[in-house]
Amino acid sequence: MIKRTVEISTPGCYVHMEHEQLLIEKDGFKMGSVPIEDLGVLILDNPQILITSALMGFLAEQNVSVIFTDAKHLPASLTIPFSANSIQTKVLNSQIEISLPTKKRLWSQIISAKISNQARSLELCRREGAVALKEIANRVKSGDQGNLEAYAAKIYWRKLFGDGFRRDRDAADHNSLLNYGYAVVRATAARAIVGTGLHPGLGINHKNQYNPFPLADDLVEPLRPFVDVRVYQIVNEMRPDADGSEREIKLDHDTKKELLRLLGDECIYDGRNLPLLVAVGYYAATVKQVMMGETDKPVIPTLG
C-alpha cells in the first residue's frame, strides 16, 4: 500500500488520535481524520498547531516521519522512529564495520546515478546537455575522486534553468521550491533508512557533526532530479499576469501540493514502474544489503 503524505497548515488545530485514527479538530469541530496505518509522512506547517505526545509516540511506532516547518514554511526538523526494524543491532553493526573501499564504491554508484538522473531530467524538460551528462556519469570513479558531481552540477543548473540561475538555499526564487521538495524527499529517505534497520546518523560521504541525518543526505542525491523536474514544470506553467509582467515564484499552498504529489508519481525501479515513495523504500533496502555484504550494487530509482 502506498503511504500518504499529509500536510496540516491551519492555525489553531488540535491534532490527536482516537482508535488509531489521526484526528484534526478546531474549536471543537472535526476537520478531518486519517487512518494512521495509511500515513508515511506528516507535515505540520504552522506554529499554532497542537499535537499530543500520545499521537507522536504512536506515529513513531508506525514508522511515520513528522516534519515541523519554520517561519518560511520550510522543513526545520524531522522526527523518525528507532524501533522500526527487529534486527536493528545486527544491521547497525554491519553499517559501522563497512569498509572504506565499499563506502567509496557505493558513493560512486550513487553519484553516477544522480548524474544520469540529471541527464534524464534535461531530456524530460526538453533542455540541452543530456548527452554530456551521460558521458560524465560513465566516468565517475570510486569515491568520485575527480569530483564529477560538482562538474556535472555546473552544466546541469545552467542548462535546466538558464545562465542566470544559481543554486542558493537562501534565495526566494526557484530555490525555495527546490528546498521544500528536497526536504520532503529527504524525510522519505530517512524514514526508509530507519525501516531497514540502518542508522541515519552514519553516512557514506556526508559527515557534518551537526547533521543528524547524513545517510539520508547521501541516499537523497540521486532523487533530487525528481524534484528538479517538478519545479521546472511548476515554474514554466506559471503564466504572466494580465499586464504582461512576470509572476513571482512563491512557495504557496498550490506549489507545496504539487511538490507533495511527487511521492506518489511513478518512477522506474529495477525495470518496474513504482510510486517513488515505494521505490525509495526498496532503494534503502538494497543499500543495507550492500553494507551487509549481500550484494555489490544498490538499485536506485530512475526518472521515467
Confidence of residue 78 (pLDDT cuts 50, 70, 90): confident
pLDDT at 84: 52
Across 175-186, average pLDDT: 92
pLDDT tens for each residue of 191-248: 888 778 788 888 998 877 667 789 999 999 999 999 999 999 999 876 555 555 556 7
pLDDT at 83 over 60: no
Across 275-289, average pLDDT: 93
- Which domains are seen in the chain, by residue range? 4-79 (3.100.10.20), 88-291 (1.20.120.920)
pLDDT tens for each residue of 149-158: 999 999 999 9
pLDDT at 197: 78
Cell digits of residue 174: 526557484
pLDDT at 258 over 70: yes
pLDDT at 210: 65
Average pLDDT, the chain: 88
CB-neighbour burial class of residue 34 (10 A; exposed 0-12, middle 13-18, buried 19+): middle
